[in-house]
Amino acid sequence: SAVISQKPSRDICQRGTSLTIQCQVDSQVTMMFWYRQQPGQSLTLIATANQGSEATYESGFVIDKFPISRPNLTFSTLTVSNMSPEDSSIYLCSVERALNTEAFFGQGTRLTVV
Amino acid sequence: TQLLEQSPQFLSIQEGENLTVYCNSSSVFSSLQWYRQEPGEGPVLLVTVVTGGEVKKLKRLTFQFGDARKDSSLHITAAQPGDTGLYLCAGDPGAQKLVFGQGTRLTINP
């Protein structure tokens, strides 16, 4: 398993501002994943962050809105830019064990945009 | 189109009852996983099923993988209030990333 620390755990932000979420893993991992979980919904993959290369974004998500950094093998950040109330969600980072792609998650960041 | 269809999406039952949650797909998965998520937390892995027809038990929870590896079920016996949570199935369709079902929000009433 992996221990994943995410911060902040929650925030309330003004529309038009940006928030950067940090994710720290207790071991080196090749890929880190960022998910969005809208209220009452399941998880939707935003992007995959590989160390040393640009993140790979899923359909419907763009780098200008969700820039990602991956400076080393244990850390990543996701920025939610120019926020609107529609961005209010839980944002989760995860890592996967290569065998069977089992995922381990941080506790999530609950973002409310007002 | 949802790659993994979960049903039911909401379930509220009394303590002591049994229940089954289903996860279906038209695609074949090399493995499927079940997670439980509680409020304010990220999902936590419960089990991975790998072999078609496989059955795994975790105390009162029984997980089954369909013979064709396209579906899975989670059965809870004698449900308890501590079983309350969001149950998610997930699998890798071959792209080295997980897709999740819509989730089943389970409430066990004392």
The token pair at B41 is 């937390």
The token pair at A19 is 């928030």
Rounded mean pLDDT, A10-24: 97
Nearest-by-CA chain B residue for A100 = B31
Say whether A94 and B50 touch across the interface (CB within 8 A).
Answer: no
User: Cβ(A11)–Cβ(A109) under 8 Å?
Assistant: yes
- Strand pairing category for A10-13 and A109-113: parallel
Compute, in degrees rounded to 10, the torsion defined by CA atoms B81, B40, B62, B65: 150
pLDDT at residue number A98: 66
Q: What is the residue type of B53? A: G
**Closest approach of B12 to chain A, Cα-based (Å):** 15
Residue among B33, B42, B97 whose CB faces A92 most closely: B42
Question: Among B47, B65, B100, B104, which would you mutate to test the A interface (most chain A Cβ atoms within 10 Å of its Cβ)?
Answer: B100
> pLDDT tens digits, residue range A58-106?
999 999 999 999 999 999 999 999 999 999 999 999 998 766 678 999 9
Say whether B43 and A105 touch across the interface (CB within 8 A).
Answer: yes
- In SS3 terms, A19-69 reads as EEEEEEECCCCCEEEEEEECCCCCEEEEEEEECCCCCEECCCCCCCCCCEE
Residue B1 has pLDDT above 80, yes or no: no
Spatial separation of the C-alpha atoms in residues A87 and A22, rounded to whole Å: 17
User: Cβ(B41)–Cβ(A108) under 8 Å?
Assistant: yes
Specify the residue for token string 């105390």.
B59
Nearest-by-CA chain B residue for A56 = B97
pLDDT at residue number B2: 60
Say whether B42 and A33 touch across the interface (CB within 8 A).
Answer: no
- A55 shares contact with chain B (CB less than 8 Å): no
Residue A53 has pLDDT above 90, yes or no: no
Residue B24 has pLDDT above 90, yes or no: yes
Least confident of A3-7, B22-26, B55-59, B92-96: B92-96
In sequence order, which residues have a C-beta less than 8 Å from that of residue A99 and are 6 or more positions away? none
Mean pLDDT of chain A: 93
> pLDDT tens digits, residue range B74-85?
999 999 999 999
Rounded mean pLDDT, A31-41: 91
pLDDT at residue number B60: 97
pLDDT at residue number A99: 63
The token pair at A20 is 């950067």
A46 chain-B contacts, CB cut-off 8 A: none
Question: Among B3, B47, B69, B98, which would you mutate to test the A interface (most chain A Cβ atoms within 10 Å of its Cβ)?
Answer: B98
**For residue B8, cis peptide bond before it (omega within 30 degrees of 0):** yes
Q: What is the residue type of B108? A: I
- A47 shares contact with chain B (CB less than 8 Å): no
